[in-house]
Chain A
Amino acid sequence: SQQGEEDPQALSIQEGENATMNCSYKTSINNLQWYRQNSGRGLVHLILIRSNEREKHSGRLRVTLDTSKKSSSLLITASRAADTASYFCATDANAGGTSYGKLTFGQGTILTVHP
């Protein structure tokens, strides 16, 4: 079963605008991660936020985590055409045992940034 659900499924914006993607999950987590996938390529790790953190920044990326609502958001500021990709959230579940870092991925948001 999918741990993460992402919203929207697709997002189309103009260069310079901000892009916000949301992720909801079902169980308690150790951390939540965001990945980017360019067409035909492997996934690239963007940022990791631990369950005891509420916000994290990396360059133009801002991630928030609300464990009470079991949700996270990824904000990309001042988008560029090169940001066009699919974005996935993934959760390292805290299910009472050892997760060994197993991640459960959402279905992703397809972001298109028009020049």
Chain B
Amino acid sequence: DAGITQSPRHKVTETGTPVTLRCHQTENHRYMYWYRQDPGHGLRLIHYSYGVKDTDKGEVSDGYSVSRSKTEDFLLTLESATSSQTSVYFCAISEWGQGASGYTFGSGTRLTVV
């Protein structure tokens, strides 16, 4: 999607290994979010950021950490991957507070933990 890219698009990793997913935006939006999408659960918020170095936990944050050292990049790290973290991960950006606009989503990262 325009202005937001996720990498990698697909990844297979082994249980117990650390994994980092990257979200990069060129829209200079303040707010960034990581969601996971699983069948039967819809999208669930993992972590979000409301500014550089300002992050907080979402609904399903256990086993995940995030970092945002600059406006354009929001990294999601699975500290020690487990099979339950096999999912599709989406990053989103918004200008929340600036006229209440919707999210722009990335194309997603399909992660498989074996």
Q: Is the CB of A100 within 8 A of B48?
A: yes
Whether a CB of chain B sits under 8 angstroms from the CB of A68 is: no
Q: Is the CB of A106 within 8 A of B31?
A: no
Q: Is the CB of B100 within 8 A of A48?
A: yes
Pick from A33, A42, A50 the residue with the most CB of B within 10 Å.
A42
Q: Is the CB of A100 within 8 A of B45?
A: no
A34 to chain B, nearest CB (A): 9
Q: A48-B100, A103-B103 are in contact. Are A43 and B42 (CB under 8 A)?
A: no
- Chief secondary structure at chain A's binding surface: strand
Q: Is the CB of A102 within 8 A of B48?
A: yes
Determine the residue in chain A with the shortest Cβ distance to B4.
Answer: A42
Chain B interface size band reads 20 to 34
A19 to chain B, nearest CB (A): 19
Instruction: Out of A48, A88, A100, A102, name the residue touching B101 (CB < 8 Å).
Output: A48
Among all A-B residue pairs, the 10 with the closest Cβ atoms: A101-B96, A45-B102, A42-B105, A105-B43, A107-B42, A43-B105, A105-B42, A100-B50, A101-B94, A42-B107
Could you list which residues of chain B lie within 8 angstroms of chain A, going by C-beta atoms? Answer: 1, 31, 33, 35, 40-45, 48, 50, 56, 58-59, 90, 92, 94, 96-97, 100-108
